[in-house]
Amino acid sequence: MSKTDLRGLGREQVRTLVQDLGEPAFRGDQVFEWVFQKRATSFEWMTNIPKGFVASLSGVAEIGRLEVISEKKSSEDTTKYLFGLKDGQAIESVLIPHDYGMSVCVSSQAGCRMACRFCASGEGKFVRNLASSEITAQVLEIQALLDVQNARVSRVDFMGTGEPLDNYDNVLQSIRVLSEPRGLGIGMRKMTVSTCGIVPGIRRLAGEGLQVTLSVSLHAPDNALRDVIMPVNKRYPLEELLPACDEYAKSTGRRVTYEYVLIGGLNDGAEHARKLSRLLRGRLAHVNLIPLNPVLGSRFERSGPEAVRVFSRELQKSGIAGTMRKEMGSQVDAACGQLRRRHVDAGRRQVGKRPDPGTKPG
């Protein structure tokens, strides 16, 4: 029988698990805090818990670990981690330092089935959804590395490999776990869920009553072009997608971020910017312009500096709020899926250093 991974449970769920084993609920609080505040990776760390109970708990639960396969750091101090899972799959996470704190971009799936034309994730093919514990573990592993610097993860972006709304339940559970006040305590307003446009998932998320930011990968101002770039548009065209986004904005009171990757000669003309302005005018929206990250073997190229300036100027003239995303990792294969793809293509694992699971904090 498989064991329950404590990294995927919220505080109340741990309390229930502990009570089912015949222990008082406060023991659950102690266990939860060991895992999420003290970053325990072994039951041996839990020195204030009776050994008899630890033996019972370890019979039904575990504290999952991720193996650091490789780690790449850019000159901007962006660090990309390739983590290994128990079944041999690999996933990516990125640590990005900002003026306002440390942001972690996590993966929600091993591979992706959305097949966006410019993205390396889809080329890796979909393998499976990640469990909630595997999602939260990405943040915990990186937080453990930051502990020695007295630094803290302050933001979590569900923008790594995979489509978060295609793994809805596990992503939602990880959001709730990561925001637990007695755990990592990352506010929901400091979390972003990115989607290529899964309309039922957006509408469902709108009804959850959460304050997470919704980020929608748009990348084209009309259906014809979006069909070429993003096959998901054939199932959920703009006439369905944008009203769902409006519903999310109305339900939460939060503006929706529309991601727009600028691809040279394809979607970066002044006429595209004007179309985009007409599409978003009057909506609670913000446009995030993104220089295309080059992907090995892709026919797409990034837009030139002049095209970017013209596109941005057209948006500003129309009164559309927008920013140009600062590049923080092209040197570390920061485009989703690239590091994993290189690993899969190479067919070999480079085992990195990590703390011994049995080592207690000093």
Which positions are annotated as active-site residues? Answer: 92, 336
Nearest C-alpha neighbor of 41 from the set 186, 187, 145: 145
> 359 CB contacts (<8 Å, ≥6 apart)?
none
Look up tokens 């959804």; give the residue.
129
Residue in 130, 137, 128 with CA at minimum distance from that of residue 62: 137
Handedness of CA 39, 164, 92, 260 (dihedral sign): negative
Output phi, psi for 307, to 5 deg.
-60, -40
CA dihedral 305, 309, 311, 317 (to 10 degrees): 180
For residue 348, what are the CA distances in angstroms to 85, 92, 112, 197? 14, 16, 21, 34
CA 100, 106, 109 angle in degrees (round to 5)? Answer: 165
Which residue is listed with tokens 């913000």? 286
The C-alpha atoms of residue 206 and residue 252 are separated, in whole angstroms, by: 7
